[in-house]
Amino acid sequence: MNRVGFRLRQFRQLLRMSLTDVNESTGISRAQISLIENGKADPRMSTVMRLLHCYGRGLADLEPSPPERLHLEDAIRDAHRASARLTASALGPSDPRSRLDRKEQLGQDVRDERAALATRR
């Protein structure tokens, strides 16, 4: 998926604007906006800027944000908390055997997965 188009669509939908709304605000045709969002048109910079302006965004917003960094120990601690929330809500952990049953019903060969699972404590 084209990242610029994807982000532009996200900005529009976060504002709950329709293609018609954006067309009325920017003068860019609905078809053109749709093509840009789907990565099927290579927009001019001025067009991108008009769209960004309409969404109250700047060029920097198109940059992918740096990925979150987490330390394994912290992630494991958070995972234990998450697991405790599930237990407190009476929802148990996900059952791998039921998931394998479902995959089998879908026609997938899960013999290796069952065998591997049986080796784990």
Partner 1 sequence: MRDLAASRRALAEAERAMDQEIARSMWLAKAADYAVNDAAVLVGGAAVNLHTGSYRPTDIDLCAYLDPEDREAMSEVGFHNTQGDHFSYTFADGETWLLKSTDTQVDGDVAIVVLGEQDSLTVISRDSVVVDRLIQASDNTKITFDDAVRLGVALGDTIDWARVEAEIEVRHSLEPGLGLPRVLRRVRQAVDSSL
Residue numbers at the binding site for partner 1 (CB under 8 A): 6, 9-10, 13-14, 38, 64-65, 67-72, 75-76, 78-80, 82-83, 85-86, 89-94, 96, 98-100, 102, 110, 112-113, 115-117, 119-121
The distance of closest approach from Cβ of residue 26 to partner 1 in the complex, given in angstroms and rounded to an integer, is 19
The distance of closest approach from Cβ of residue 54 to partner 1 in the complex, given in angstroms and rounded to an integer, is 16
Q: How far is CA 37 from CA 2, 29, 32, 54, 101, in A?
A: 8, 12, 9, 15, 39
The rounded distance, in Å, linking the Cα atoms of 33 and 23 is 8
CB atoms within 10 A of CB 108: 11
Q: Which is nearer to partner 1, 46 or 112 (CB)?
A: 112
In the chain the first and final C-alpha atoms are separated, in Å, by: 40
The distance of closest approach from Cβ of residue 59 to partner 1 in the complex, given in angstroms and rounded to an integer, is 19
The rounded distance, in Å, linking the Cα atoms of 76 and 26 is 47
The distance of closest approach from Cβ of residue 78 to partner 1 in the complex, given in angstroms and rounded to an integer, is 8
Decide: 104 and 110 in contact? Cβ < 8 Å. yes
Q: Which is nearer to partner 1, 58 or 96 (CB)?
A: 96
Q: Which is nearer to partner 1, 46 or 119 (CB)?
A: 119
